[in-house]
Amino acid sequence: MDLDAASPTGFGRGTAAAARAATPGEVDCDPGRLLERLNQAVRLPEVFGGLPAVVRLLDRLAASEAQGTHQVWIPDTNGRLAPSMMLREGFPAPDIHVVASQYGEDAHRRGWLRLDRTLTSAEHADVVERALTWSQNDRSLHELVAEFGPPSVTFGSTDPDRPKTVSYVTGDRTAPVAAFHFGSARTGAAAGTGDGSRVGAVLLGVRVHDDFLGGWELTPFGEDRFC
């Protein structure tokens, strides 16, 4: 995958700290405007200032709600064998949407993420229970939507042929977030099949929580890309 030119260098360790240092500027503390800007930036960070803008907005929202500054967001964490860290750093050139989706999960936990679709408890349970097994085969975005319906939020381009992360969540902010990561397969045979060329967005893997055992799954195509 091509690394988006708008993304900062160094996904993972020090991501948020580097972003904070890289983005001085005028402080806007109005919660309504901050929420609006966050929901734009986290969906399309390459258009709205990159990952530094997302971090800055998260920090300002936390400060406006007296949660304190310098929160530890998911991309700040580097737990050994944590799927969130491995998905950020395990591919040769991780796309900006992978990291943005983890910031989006942080925003959802705090009630800041505006959802395009809120799953019912039954719909959410179905996604969480079947996501890992379903992702043991190569899948397209079309297949995902046909199986589980439209996602709750899309991080990255809405073009079905472009890399992106789509997440499924319910109104319970403590419940698992099922995040499906898609990368580009521009040329060559589809991974794991050997049955000709394949283009467009292809599922790399899914993460439902941060337990190394039972928290994530890679597709055959994702395994071929994973370091």
Written as one letter, the residue type at 143 is E
Residue 109 has pLDDT above 90, yes or no: yes
How far apart are alpha carbons 15 and 9 in whole angstroms? Answer: 8
Band (16; pLDDT cuts 50, 70, 90) = low
Domain boundaries, the chain: 115-225
pTM: 0.81
**pLDDT at residue 188 is higher than 70:** no
Dump pLDDT digits (tens) for 119-167.
999 999 999 999 999 999 999 999 999 999 999 999 999 898 899 999 9
For residue 116, pLDDT beyond 90: yes
Identify residue 177 by its one-letter amino acid code: V
Q: Where are the alpha helices (DSSP H) in 9-168?
A: 15-22, 31-41, 50-64, 83-89, 96-109, 121-134, 141-148
